[in-house]
Copies of this chain bind each other. A is one copy, B any other.
Amino acid sequence: MSHRIAVIPGDGIGTEVMLEGLRVLEAAARRFDLDLTLEHFDFACCDYYLEHGRMLPDDWFDRLKDFDAILYGAVGWPEKVPDHISLWGSLLQFRRQFDQYINLRPCKLLPGIKSPLADRRPGDIDFYVVRENTEGEYSSVGGRMFEGTEREVVIQETVMTRVGVDRVLKYAFDLAATRPRKKLTSATKSNGIAITMPWWDERVKAMSTNYPDVSVDAFHIDILTANFVMHPDWFDVVVASNLFGDILSDLGPACTGTIGVAPSANINPEGKFPSLFEPVHGSAPDIAGKGIANPIGQIWSAAMMLEHLGHKEAGKAIVDAFEAVLAEADPAVLTADAGGHGTTETLGRAIAERL
């Protein structure tokens, strides 16, 4: 089975960590005899915008739609292009146009990575955030009125659809059903956001009748964020709307100390369009060009991509490889954020060699 992968490094450290992501991907391809064809694209980054006045060429959809997956670095460089333009012009287009309606992010305490939480050890925290990725609070409906006057009012509509909510709930329940604990937590705010969220609760309840083996609970988003800090061991699979999932999938990795290394999968489960894999971290203009960014987020994203393409073993081998390198804790290999004095490249090479 051969796969065509579109490679989009994007901005800042995206271009640096991508090199190591590809290095490890190629090592995995050799070891597991995978047939991967990589094609590189220079758009969906701020330099492209500065040259062309837009983030993507007109024919981006047709050029990318037949790939089996997209491996993305990071996008955004606020000093060059305001974030809402660069993001809505690239990443958020991919998510929407390729109907990548699932955003999946693991939150896992790793060996050798220090968690900001007291008294937590690898194994204690290991859950997924399943985020709705195409609708909800991220909407393009709304605007300003009486602009520039004292009466100014600005409106933005949250739009949820039954189709959109049910399919993310189904994905999350399916995932929970495959896991030993079989537990699903719903992020809500039906006490305050009293139109959309009570309805979200109803959809969760309706979907749960199809999964008698999955135990379900729900927390309002405010106390849920608190519980991520106080009781991260409570969670197995957490399902959330676009905005709540965005928050929880940064907060979760922060609690495990892995925000700089966590991966993110933007999935079109039906495989009608390519899914997109990217590190959770951004383009980090402040450290770009120094070769010190930790490449594990990109490498872990590549592992998720291989799993998604059906190569579970290869994906797992990559995760095992970087966990082993982290556990070894060689300061000459690790980047500064992980307590070493190595570079993006020393860490990438060590993981590729281990593989």
Contacts of A143 in B (CB 8 A): 195
CB of A94 to closest CB in B, whole Å: 14
Interface residues as binary, A157-201 with B (CB distance below 8 Å gives 1, 0 otherwise): 111111100000000000000000000000001111111111100
Q: Does A84 contact B (CB under 8 A)?
A: yes
Q: A229-B251, A259-B230 are in contact. Are A76 and B191 (CB under 8 A)?
A: yes
Q: A118-B116, A259-B226 are in contact. Are A161 and B156 (CB under 8 A)?
A: no
Whether B195 lies near A156 (C-beta < 8 A) is: yes
Q: Does A79 contact B (CB under 8 A)?
A: no
Whether B254 lies near A230 (C-beta < 8 A) is: yes
**Of residues 143 to 158 in A, which have CB atoms within 8 Å of B's CB atoms?**
143-144, 149-158
Max chain B Cβ within 10 angstroms of own Cβ: one of A115, A150, A162, A221: A162
Whether B84 lies near A194 (C-beta < 8 A) is: yes
Q: From A135, which residue of chain B is reached at the shortest CB distance?
A: B153
CB of A354 to closest CB in B, whole Å: 28
**Of residues 225 to 269 in A, which have CB atoms within 8 Å of B's CB atoms?**
225-227, 229-230, 242-243, 246-247, 249-251, 253-255, 259
CB of A110 to closest CB in B, whole Å: 16
